[in-house]
Amino acid sequence: MNLHPLDLVIIAVYLVAVAMIGVVLRKRATKKLDSFYLADRNVPWWMLVLSGCSSYIDIGGTMSMIGLIFYLGLKSMWATHIFWGWFIICFYMAFQAKYIRRSGVMTFAEWNETRFGTGRDAEAARLAAAIFLLVLMICNLMFISVGTGKFAEEFLPLPRWEATLIVLAVVGVYVTLGGFFGVILTDVFQTLLIGVGAVIMAVMVFAKPAAMTFIQKDPAWFSLAPTWTLWGGFAADTPAAYQHFGLFGPLMAAGFFWMIFRLLSGPNVWDFQFFLTTRSPRDAQLAAGMWTVGYNLRWVLGVSFMVLGIFYLGTQAGFDAEKIMPLVLLKMPVGLRGLFMAVLLAALMSTISAMINVTSSVVINDFIKRYFAKDMTQKKLVRLGQIASVVAVLIGFVFSLSFTNIVTAWETMVFVVVTVILVPATLRWHYWRFGAKAFVWSMGVSAVLISLRLIFLKGLHASASLAIDVGLGLVTTVVAAVLTKPADMEILVKFYAKVRPFGFWGPVRRECVKRGLVPAKDKMPKIDMLNGLVTAAFQFCLAIMPFYLFL
C-alpha cells in the first residue's frame, strides 16, 4: 500500500531536518577525535538522558517486543528483563556509569589499557576487545537493518533492501558529518518526538475501550506469575521463532544465570561511549538513572500497538505479530500515519546513529591510529572515521539479508556474540587476579567452544544451549585466571584508586589504603549494589504499568 502524499511530505521534512543537523555541525564536530567521537566530553547530563532514551527504542526491537507481548502476555516482562537482560540499565546507574567515566578513555578496548597496563599481553587484550566490539557493532547494525526492512515492506512501494538503504543513507549523513554532536542533538529532538507519539498512542487506546475486549487469550496470558511451562495452546498459536519460550521456567533460569554476568560485565556498545561524553562521573550516573524512566516509552508504544493491532486486525494479527506495528499504521488517518512514521524513524535512526559512531571510533582509535597511522593529523583521522562509518553501515546491511525474522537476529547477536565476552568482562572489573593473558585466552577459548556447540549441538533447546555456553565460559575464565599472572601491582593500585570497583580486590585495596589512596572503610560498594537492586524493582514496576492501564 502506498502512502498518501501528505504522509510522504511529513516523512521527507523530518528526514531532511535531521540530515541538515549533521551539515550544520560539521565544522565543530571535525576539529579533533574527541570532538567527533565524544563531543569534547562536555555533554550535559540532561541531554544525555534525552539522547539515550531514544537510542534504547528502535523499530526492530519494538517490533520483536510487540511480538513477545502478543505471544507471552504479561510474562513477556520476565522474558525482556531477565532473558534479554534489560535490567542492566539499573546497574549502569548504580555503579557502571561512574566506573566508566572515571577511566577517561575513548573506547571499550582502550579501557583494557587502564586495567592491564601497556605490555605485550595488555596489547593483545586491547586488540581482542577491539575485534569483538567491531563484530558486535556490525551485528547490531545487521539486527536493526532486519527490523527496518520488515517494517518498511508493508507500506512502501519498494523492496525491503531499497527501503533499508534509504534510511541508512540519511542516518549516515548526519552521523558522518556531525559526529557525536550530531548524534546527541538529533537524539534529543527524536526523544521528544517519540514522547509525543507515545502520548498519542495511549490516548488512542483509551478512546477505544472496546479494544481490550477483543483480546481473547488464555487466562494465563494475563498473569504475571512465572510458570515452568506456558499454557497448553501456546505451541499451536506461536511461530517457530518464539517456540522456545514454551519451556518458560528453564529458559528464565538459564537467562538469569546469563543475566548476572550481563549486569556485572558492564556496557560494551554505545552506552559505554555515552558515559564517556559526560562532564563528570556524577553526571554519568544521573543520565543512566533517568534512562530507567525514559526507556519505558517503549512499553507504552509496544502495548498500545499490540492492543490496537488486535482491535483493528482481529485474527489477522496472529500470522506474524512482529508485523502488528506497520499494519496498525496502515489503519491510521492520513497525516497521523505520517507523524508516526516520523516517530518510528526517529527511534530507529537514534539507535543506528549511536552504533555507527561507536563502530567508527573503534576502527580509528583501536586499529588505524594505533597500528597504521600513528603520525596522522587529527583532521585526517576524522576523515577516515567518516569513511569507516559508511563501510560499517554497508557491512551490517549485507549481513541483514540472511535473516527473515527479528527475534532470531536479536538472539543470535545477544546469546552467541555477547556471551563470548560476558564472563571475561565481569572478572576484569571485579577480580584483581584476572590478567591480560587470561582475558585473551578466555575470550578465544569461549568463542571456539560456542562455535563447536553451534555445529555439533545445534538442536538443543535455548535454555540448555545458553546454560552450557555461560557455564563453559565461566569454567574457562576461572581456569585462565588461576593459570596466568595478574597485572603488575602498580597498575592495579592505580586502576583501583581511580575507579574503585567492588568485588574481590583484597590485596590491591589493602595496598591502596596503606598508601592513603582510598578510605579504610568504604561503604560505597555495598551502597552501589543496593542501589542497583532497588532501581531494578522500580524499573520493573514502571514497565508493567502500561499493561495494567491498557489491558
Condensed to tens digits (0 to 9), the pLDDT of residues 448-507 reads: 998 898 888 877 888 898 899 999 999 999 999 999 999 999 999 999 998 888 889 999
Q: Is residue 510 part of a domain?
A: no
Cα–Cα distances (Å) from 441 to 124, 420, 435, 475, 478, in that order, read 10, 11, 10, 12, 11
- 162: CB partners within 8 A, 6+ apart: none
Residue 96 lies in a domain: yes
Supply the DSSP symbol for 2: P
pLDDT at res. 491: 94
Q: What is the residue-averaged pLDDT of the chain?
A: 82
Residue 283: CATH number of its domain: 1.20.1730.10
For 426, counting Cβ atoms within 10 Å of its Cβ (0-12 exposed, 13-18 middle, 19+ buried), the class is buried
Tell me the pLDDT band of 265, cut-offs 50, 70 and 90. Answer: confident
Is residue 8 pLDDT above 70, yes or no? yes
Whole-structure pTM value: 0.85
Domain range enclosing 40: 5-487+519-550
| Nearest Cα residue to 281 out of 48, 488, 115 | 48
Query: Is residue 365 a contact partner of residue 37, using CB atoms and an 8 Å limit?
Result: yes
**Residue 13 neighbours by CB under 8 Å, 6+ apart:** none
Phi then psi for residue 504, to 5 deg, are -95, 80
Instruction: With CA atoms as reference, report the closest residue to 301 among 235, 425, 205, 436.
Output: 205
Residue 512 lies in a domain: no
**For 307-330, what is the mean pLDDT?**
76
HEC profile of 438-478 = HHHHHHHHHHHHHHHHHHHCCCCCHHHHHHHHHHHHHHHHH
Q: Which of 66-75, 271-280, 425-434 has the highest mean pLDDT?
A: 425-434
How many of the other CB atoms lie within 10 Å of CB of 525?
16
* 306: its cell numbers: 499490540
Contact 308, 205 (CB under 8 A): yes
E strands in 354-443 = none
Q: Is the dihedral of CA 273, 99, 293, 215 positive or negative?
A: positive
For residues 148 and 162, what is the distance between their CA atoms, to the nearest angstrom? 11
The count of residues in the chain is: 551
In a domain, 508, yes or no: no
Residue 499, in any domain of the structure: no
CA 505 – CA 491 distance, rounded (Å):
13
pLDDT at res. 149: 75
CA atoms in the 13 A half-sphere facing the CB of 158: 15
Identify which of 352, 493, 513 has the alpha carbon closest to the alpha carbon of residue 432.
Answer: 493
Of 489, 490, 429, 466, nearest to 251 by C-alpha is 466
The C-alpha cell of 294 is what?
A: 525514559
- Give me Rg for the CA atoms of the chain: 23
Q: Is residue 500 part of a domain?
A: no
| Residue whose C-alpha is closest to residue 393's, from 167, 193, 235, 202 | 167
pLDDT-based confidence at residue 350 (cuts at 50, 70, 90): low
pLDDT band at 514 (very low <50, low <70, confident <90, very high): very high
* Chain-centroid distance, C-alpha 47: 19
pLDDT tens digits for range 185-238: 777 877 888 888 888 888 888 887 665 665 666 788 888 999 999 888 788 878
C-alpha grid cell, residue 421: 565476552
Inside any domain, residue 497: no
Sequence-ordered list of residues with C-beta below 8 angstroms from that of 153, at least 6 positions apart, any chain: 159, 160, 163
Per-residue pLDDT reduced to its tens digit, 402-426: 776 677 777 777 777 888 888 999 9
Find, among 144, 154, 38, the residue nearest to 395 by Cα. 144
First to last CA, the chain: 30
Question: Tell me: the pLDDT tens digits for 144-184?
Answer: 777 777 777 766 667 777 777 777 777 666 566 656 666 67
Q: Give the pLDDT mean for 280-290.
A: 88
* Structural domain includes residue 501: no
pLDDT in the model for residue 513? 93
Residue 444: is it exposed, middle or buried by C-beta count within 10 angstroms (0-12/13-18/19+)?
Answer: middle
With 70 as the cut, is the pLDDT of residue 97 above it? yes
Phi, psi dihedrals of residue 278, rounded to the nearest 5°:
-75, 165
- Count the neighbouring beta carbons within 10 Å of the beta carbon of residue 488: 14
Whole-angstrom CA distances from 301 to 147, 204, 438 are 16, 11, 44
- Give the separation between CA 186 and CA 352, rounded to whole angstroms: 12
Question: What domain count does the chain have?
Answer: 1
**Cα–Cα distance list, 52 to 102, 273, 286 (Å):** 19, 11, 12
